[in-house]
Structure 1
């Protein structure tokens, strides 16, 4: 898969969570998210229990709370959407501080916020303890279609390259006195986007030709084989299994 590629979410460490095989962690996070989504929204305590479970994993991985919370800001747009639901949803209304809010909207907002936050938190924990190269290996081990893995690999490798190209084009515009101030400058920005697309396409052609000349046949080689022991699968499965117990208890409590 090539050399490693560092990313802003990853936090170097030597905890047992870091050393777990990537496909074990991917499967565990996916199962955990499925369990969280399957939990009835009325079982409010269950979502607090899920947060405690994630906190235990973060503590075991030695990931600071500040690191996690700062990376979870990506869900802010969803929070804004959830905040609007009690005001626009229909149905039974309730007065809160003199404001009429929808009961179903309040439950819907809580449902989105709780499950979304837990899902984002689990994903950030995964990214904080697993390098991108390892994640790609994990996807291969989980039998994700090879073409999708290759697309993700190239996106990771050349995303920074394309961003650097766009940055140089921006510097070139500013050095010529250009500064976008309104709609009349959108044409220049559109031409920049078109030029960036053409340059990216041409670079992709050159990269593909270079790969073919070096023996590429449509499948990326795996440089090292990662195997998981039974103990490692049990460690990774502890999180979704504990979450499943909480979920089943939540359903019994609601019914």
Structure 2
């Protein structure tokens, strides 16, 4: 666990957002996402205010759009699902460009896209300003059970290893004449996915046994230099929770003015 002080989504910087304790950023993220999810999808103006809040936070954290927007492509599968909903859902129909689309499906697609996009953007904001080393201490200070903290931290740590393993397997296939774009190679790709699963499972067992032999008791050890970080002050909590408080007020206003 000594490697990887940062993760692939971390952007080095010295902004106010980077200097805030990780626990306040995680708490703000959770409250912001809950406010977004609780906002009625039939009301449009709250989502514009949510987006403006995120853009303001990006400005404070000095996170450029050209850096964060490509990383938001992670939500593409959900967008594809949302596009299919107006065709698959039942209920009232409406004609749009010659297509008969489901009204409930359109509302569901809108809700998935806008809420998912805002949630991903907020999550990437925290990830871009928080290192992996800060997460265990932050989660423990927020009262998250030790087992959940361990699982999350190990998952972040070994995503890099799995990505490297996928790259090596792909290079091995290409060196043996594999063409990933050819349909007849679907079987080979499926076998590769199965092999990756087995390797990951076996590696997880070996790592877990190695950790037990070194005295692992279910709690992640505190890393040197990170445990010495002082707890967030009242002023830091107040400052960090401003975006979340604004989101909660917007969500409440949306229900009142609905």
TM-score range, shorter chain: 0.7 to 0.9
Residue 201 to residue 236, structure 1, CA distance change in 2 (3 Å): same
* Structure 1 residues 35 and 197: CA distance shift in structure 2, 3 A: closer
Q: Please name the residue that 1:147 is paired with.
A: 147
1:180-225 per-position Cα deviation (integer Å, ceiling 9, x unaligned): 7666884x66776666566556655554555455444443321333
Aligned: 1:136 with 2:136: yes
Contact in 1 for aligned 2:149/2:220 (Cα 8 Å): no
Residue 238 (structure 2) pairs with residue 234 (structure 1): yes
CA contact (8 A) 1:36 1:247 kept: yes
Q: Which has the larger radius of gyration?
A: 1
Q: State the shift of 1:147 in Å.
A: 1.7
Measure, in 1, the Cα distance between the counterparts of 2:84 and 2:198.
Answer: 41
List runs of 5+ in structure 1 lacking aligned partners.
none
| Mapping for residues 44-59 of structure 1, pairs under 5 Å | 44-59=44-59
- State how 1:176-255 maps to structure 2 within 5 Å: 186=187, 200=200, 203-204=203-204, 207-208=207-208, 210-212=210-212, 214-223=214-223, 224-225=226-227, 226=229, 227-254=231-258
Structure 2: distance between partners of 1:12 and 1:87: 43
Cα distance in 2 between the residues matched to 1:52 and 1:184: 46
Contact 2:135–2:153 (CA<8 Å) still a contact in 1?
Answer: no
Deviation at 1:159, TM superposition (A): 3.3
The secondary structure found in structure 1 opposite 2:10 is coil
CA contact (8 A) 2:24 2:237 kept: yes
Aligned to 1:13: 13
How many residue pairs were aligned? 253
Which of 159-168 and 193-202 deviates more?
Answer: 193-202
Instruction: State the Cα deviation string for residues 153-201 of structure 1 (Å, max 9, x = none).
Output: 2233333334434544555565566677666884x66776666566556
Mean CA deviation greater in 27-36 or 105-114: 105-114
Structure 1, residues 22-79: CA drift from partner, whole Å, max 9, x if none?
Answer: 1110110000000111111121011111000111101110101122211111111111
> Which residue of the partner structure matches residue 39 of structure 2?
39
What SS does the aligned partner of 1:94 have? strand
Equivalent-residue separation in structure 2 for 1:159 and 1:222 (angstroms)? 21
Q: Hey, what does 1:30 align to over in structure 2?
A: 30
- Between 81-90 and 59-68, report the one with greater CA deviation: 81-90
Return 145-154 or 195-204, whichever deviates more: 195-204
Residue pair 1:75, 1:117 contacting (<8 A) in 2 also? yes
State how far apart, in whole Å, the 1-side matches of 2:198 and 2:112 are.
Answer: 40
TM-score (norm 2): 0.84
Q: How does 1:90-101 map to 2 (within 5 A)?
A: 90-101=90-101
1:122 equivalenced with 2:122 (yes/no): yes
TM-score by length of 1: 0.85
Q: Is the 8 A contact 2:25 2:126 kept in 1?
A: yes
* Helix, strand or coil at the partner of 2:241: helix
Which whole-Å CA distance do the structure 2 matches of 1:22 and 1:98 have between them?
50
Once residues 82 and 199 of structure 2 are traced to their aligned partners in structure 1, the CA distance between those partners, rounded to angstroms, is 40
